[in-house]
Amino acid sequence: MGIGIMPTTTVLKRLAKEHGTPLFIVDHDVLRRNFAEFGRRLPRVQAYYAVKAAPMPEIIKTLYDTGASFDVASIGEFRLVYETIRHLPAKERQDFIWDKIIYANPIKDRATLEELDAYRPLVTYDNPDEIRKIRKHAPHAGLVLRIRVPNTGSIVELSSKFGAAPGEAVDLIAAAFDAGLVVEGLSFHVGSQCMNFDNYVQALTLSAAVLEEAATRGYPLRLLDIGGGFPAPYDGNVKAFRDLARVLNLELRRLFPKELEILAEPGRFMVATTATLVAEVIGKADRDGKRCYYLNDGIYHTFSGVFFDHCQYPIKAFKKGPTQLSAVFGPTCDALDTISQAEPLPELNLGDLVYSENIGAYSHASSTWFNGFPPAKVVHIDGG
């Protein structure tokens, strides 16, 4: 289907009529454009797509075909990537796993490590117990130490859960080598949807100091993983990616030698703008003087990002006309299932359709079957 921009309302309505609602529409032309922009703006950085943002084999295949690598954070995601690339010859597939997949969850259970070991993957760690666990259950893995860096101003904070203190970093690198393991590099994460570019500046400065101390102590490392956090353009208040790229390129040139491999873990940036949700009005009521609409999708499904990801996805109507601030709810019997308390909408009737754009990241991925309501059907459109 040859659509080079987000689907028009005519296309959205036609797809909804053909497939029913709720319908989650993923545009692979947009996905390719996002990947191309990332590479154009950050030519030194290899993009490892964070699979958890939208773990779909169709997305993985498109990104693989365009040259992406992959960041996985569970054995399920690792298997998903592996199954998607299993058509490769065994040697090429193994090389791809070694060079193009990083298991970036610092905490891994024993069964996961034992399954991963045969593939000799890159895995992150941030504490001495993880070193002992990896030594016992995945001794063939390459290690990447994750350090704690500022997350101020990021929409989703991660530093309270993961990351070694920078002052302890080289001791943890030494401990891994002493255990007979090989530390390949260093990583950090500034927090998801980072709106404070200074987080990256501080994180890169800390990383440069750790790498220098490690080399001085006899542990030269070959790669730096600058994590994710690259902001998706949800609205006009989000700082432009080109501005962040300008800051990053300057700091990478200033702080690190050309031979150091740089990788990143963009998830939201890659997929947020690729998807549109179409839902149906299944109920309406007036409560305390406010119009209330009920959709066949909600917080337990595609709008999960409202709760888990601190995102708002404006609800748009296909109808035109005067608007009033309305409440919008999902279909379940839970008051938590509230999409918005103040959405400007025209007068809608049962059976009318609405849509939300830029809903591709951390949305359908968190959908459940709560209260017996299934996740939205997924349709992939691709101009190739």
Q: Where are the alpha helices (DSSP H) in the chain?
A: 9-19, 28-41, 57-66, 75-85, 90-100, 110-117, 128-137, 169-178, 198-216, 241-255, 268-271, 304-308
Cβ contact 66:36 at 8 Å: yes
Q: DSSP 3-state assignment of 148?
A: coil
- CA-to-CA distance for 176 and 361, rounded, in angstroms? 35
> Per the structure block, which two tokens stand in for 248?
């990053």
Structure tokens at 332: 């379940």
DSSP state of 343: E
Round to the nearest angstrom and report the end-to-end CA distance of the chain: 8
Whether residue 333 lies in the annotated active site: yes
DSSP labels, 259-318: TSEEEE--SHHHHGGGEEEEEEEEEEEEETTEEEEEES--TTTTTHHHHHS------EES
Residues noted as catalytic = 333
